[in-house]
Amino acid sequence: MDIAGQIASYTYQYFDNLGFLLLSGIGLIVIYGVMGVINMAHGELMMIGAYIAVSTFYAGVPAPLAVGLGGVGSGLVGMIIEQLVIRHFYNQLLSSLVVTWGISLIISQGTLLLLGPSIMNMPTPLGSISVGSFAFGVYRLVMFATALGLIAATWALFRWTKLGAQAQATMEDPVMASALGIDTRRVYTLTFGLGSALGGIAGGMFAMTATISPFFGQNYTPMAFITVVVGGGASPIVGLTYAGMYLAGVQTISSNLVNEYIGYVSVIAAAFIALLVMPSGISDFFEQRRIRRMSR
Amino acid sequence: MRTLVKPLMRFGRAFNGPQTLGNSPLFWICWLAAVIALIVFPLFGSRYHVLTASNFLISTILAMSLCLIWGYCGILSLGQAAFYCIGGYAYGIVAMNLIDSQGNTDLAIVAGVVVPAAFAALIGALMFYSRLKGVYVAILMLVTSLLLGLFMRQTADPSYTIGGAYLGGMNGLAPAKASDPSLPSIILGFGNTIFEFDGRGRSFYWLVLGAAVAIYLGLRWIVNSSFGYVLVAVREDPERTETFGYDVRLVQLAVFCLSAAIAGFAGTLYTAWGTYIHPDGFSVGANILVVIWVAVGGRKDLSAVIVSTVALNWISIELATWGEISMLMLGMILVCAMLIAPDGVFTGLGSAIGRATRRRAPAAAPTPEPAPAPASAMMPRRSQ
């Protein structure tokens, strides 16, 4: 056993798990942070992105562009869903949870009817590199880099654009924001579209590592939900990053020491422990501490 | 005649109140007619119809368990089917181990109720005592259910046996060895007397019907009792309820355990009905069905939930003949119902009927409270 290879293996798996959590969680947590809605149809939006990415890829579009198209497609679908359904459920958190779940059922079952249960896949690009006796796929690293890129882009969007400022104001106090002339409905629609597009991009990225089927999204959503719940909604980017780092660490260690199933179980156990200390998520916890320090 | 009716009315008042629709004598007459119709149904229906109706009734019990926590206490659990399945597995495992030595399944039924309640107590204590948001509770319950399903799926390895029961992965619960007894249906034993209920027969149907009616009446009594008022107070405003001196967390935990016990009982009946239980019950599809039944009917009323559960079950069986569209249609029904009637289709219908019948006889019952009469002499009166 070569130690360098072992260390590289653990590090690689950690970043691999982290990449998965960040990619599948980012769209979800943006929507949750701004609107307070946990979008149960997120997995299905990822599935739409994956299908678009794969079919455009086989139509001859280069892979990165195909993934981008998947994001655009999911984003449009997300905005339509928001316009048709979600806007009737603002401020009713539990009802919005249930209604988005209904939408997810419609999308996945509809896809099953349209395309059948047949599975599609896409080759994993970019080969592998080896350290010691271990071989590592380069694509997983690209996925992690993409996750970082998307997080940075979302952060920049919230930090520097007018829409971002409006979204932050809406997060802080929707009534006040609309009194100041911000069209909060537009902010909500665009946010939902943005979150869906991020989900679609994630779906397109995952399509190159797994076979896709109408229930493709369900493989990723449980972990994404846990990440979002642990992250909290006060500051989506911070929450997502910390929650991802924490849960990916737990998952890497326990799935290596025991098995993959124990890995999942210890993630949810770790989530419960984190929630005992910080009941409304990591970012809310930091936010409250910051407020307390400022008021002193 | 009067002397007979009066105590009956007083007894009946315990089941009536503002927390439930259908408090009029007319409602109870219709209800009695419906129950009698259900009792005599197996005498006319075919074997297949009785079998299906038993399953529908089991579903109504499960739906009532979610209605209790979501509709009355405001705790949404997206993983209610987890308790159902835990109950089913607990019943199956205990029954297969004890059927030979005991000759009945009494203990297994107890296990099917207590194990899910204990699980709910554990997970509920973690969630409610750390004051998690309602959305988090809903999501965590779903994730818990999915993980349990994932665990049960990978138990195909022969080492996963508990006594004479082999968990069996995707093939469902089975005897560990050929010599072990197979999963029994419900056999109640009192001393030396034994009542056997074959899951495919009429007697099982009547057993399930009796259980469903008892649970319905029991829950109506609970939600219209003072505990029920506290439940609704927690739903409406937990902070205010707390300032009135109630321990909101304890109330939530108690009702969560009760709901898990009822769901577990439904799962017990389900396992006995088909003498079969397998991990698909933990899946997204099973969990979403329960939510659809409750949300479409009207989560804030037990009767509406029962009607919608039966109606939706019937619709999905009818749709099954048209191909794989039943889940799609149920999803559409859910979204449309939530858009058009946010408080539920049957709750809306029920209150419309109530308004219509009340308007017909306004002169008979003067709407303002008849002011005099010493307060102490009156029965504790509940508002309409």
Confidence of residue A139 (pLDDT cuts 50, 70, 90): confident
Cα A173 from Cα B117, distance rounded (Å): 40
Cα A14 from Cα A249, distance rounded (Å): 6
CA distances in angstroms from A92 to A243, A254, B142, B307, listed in the order given: 26, 38, 19, 25
CA distances in angstroms from A109 to A215, B297, B327, listed in the order given: 9, 22, 7
Convert the pLDDT of each residue in B339-378 to its tens digit: 888 788 887 787 777 788 776 554 444 444 444 444 333 3
Convert the pLDDT of each residue in A188-200 to its tens digit: 888 899 999 999 9
B277 in Cβ contact with B42 (< 8 Å): no
- Nearest residue to A207 (alpha-carbon basis) of A68, A24, A73, A47: A47
How close is the nearest chain A Cα to the Cα of B110, in Å? 28
Q: Do A94 and B325 touch (CB under 8 A)?
A: no
Q: How many residues does chain A have?
A: 296
Mean pLDDT, rounded, for B297-302? 85
- Given a cut of 50, whether residue A39 has pLDDT beyond it is yes
**How confident is the prediction for chain A on average, in pLDDT?**
83
CA distances in angstroms from B2 to A74, A116, B15, listed in the order given: 68, 66, 20
Q: What are phi and psi of A136, to 5 degrees?
A: -125, 135
Which position has the token pair 């075919």?
Answer: B46
Of A88, A226, A265, the CB nearest to B339: A88
Q: Do A95 and B338 touch (CB under 8 A)?
A: yes
B337 in Cβ contact with B344 (< 8 Å): yes
A61 in Cβ contact with A214 (< 8 Å): no
Q: Which residues pair with B196 in a beta bridge?
A: B187
Mean pLDDT, rounded, for B4-20? 74
* Domain ranges across chain A: 3-217
Which pTM does this prediction carry? 0.86
CA distances in angstroms from A283 to A29, A33, A228, B249, listed in the order given: 11, 10, 10, 24
Longest dimension (CA), chain A: 65
Side chain identity, residue A230: V
Mean pLDDT, rounded, for B88-110? 83
A19 in Cβ contact with A174 (< 8 Å): no
pLDDT at A126: 67
Helical packing angle, A221-231 and A260-277, nearest 10°: 20
Cα B335 from Cα B333, distance rounded (Å): 6
- Given a cut of 60, whether residue B165 has pLDDT beyond it is yes
Q: Do B135 and A276 touch (CB under 8 A)?
A: no
Rg (CA), chain B: 22
Strand B187-190 and strand B174-175: the pairing is unpaired
How close is the nearest chain B Cα to the Cα of A225, in Å? 7
Which residues of A lie closer than 8 Å to B, measured between beta carbons? 36, 38, 85, 88-89, 92-95, 97-99, 101-106, 109-110, 112-113, 218, 222, 225-226, 229, 261, 264-265, 268, 271-272, 275-276, 279-280
Tokens describing residue A56: 């455009």
**How confident is the prediction for chain B on average, in pLDDT?**
82
Mean pLDDT, rounded, for A105-129? 77
Mean pLDDT, rounded, for B27-49? 86
